[in-house]
Amino acid sequence: MSDRLPKHLHDALKAARLAIEFLGDKQLDAYEADPLLRSAIERQVEIVGEACRRALDDTPALRERIPECVLAVAIRNRIAHGYDSIDNVVVLNAVRRIFPPLAERLAKELEAY
């Protein structure tokens, strides 16, 4: 583990919380109708995934303690490499279903530092 791990965990936590906050209770049609909202959430998803990737590279044991990190990296890659075919439902599901438990586990992991 490097001294950069807490930064990566903090960055992922901050971005996950922002994505959750930005989305709020908006439904798919409202999300799709708002390009600014989509851009903001997609950016936070990218940050979460990249920060999780760096954290996992640094400390592979996190895969067991924070399994949602692997999913965050996958959704980040899907957005970054498939920018021209982003599935809004996948993004919304990630923010609604993966990010809350991810944020909880990231916060607990950070408490250890």
Summarize pLDDT for 2-60 with one digit per residue, the tens.
789 999 999 999 999 999 999 999 999 999 999 999 999 999 999 999 999 999 999 99
Has residue 97 got a pLDDT over 80? yes
For residue 66, what are the contacts with CB-CB under 8 A and spacing of at least 6? 52, 102, 105, 106, 109
Taking alpha carbons only, the member of 93, 81, 79 closest to residue 44 is 79
- Each domain of the chain, given as residue ranges in start order, spans 5-111
pTM of the model: 0.94
pLDDT of res. 113: 79
Summarize pLDDT for 62-92 with one digit per residue, the tens.
999 999 999 999 999 999 998 788 999 999 9
pLDDT of res. 1: 62
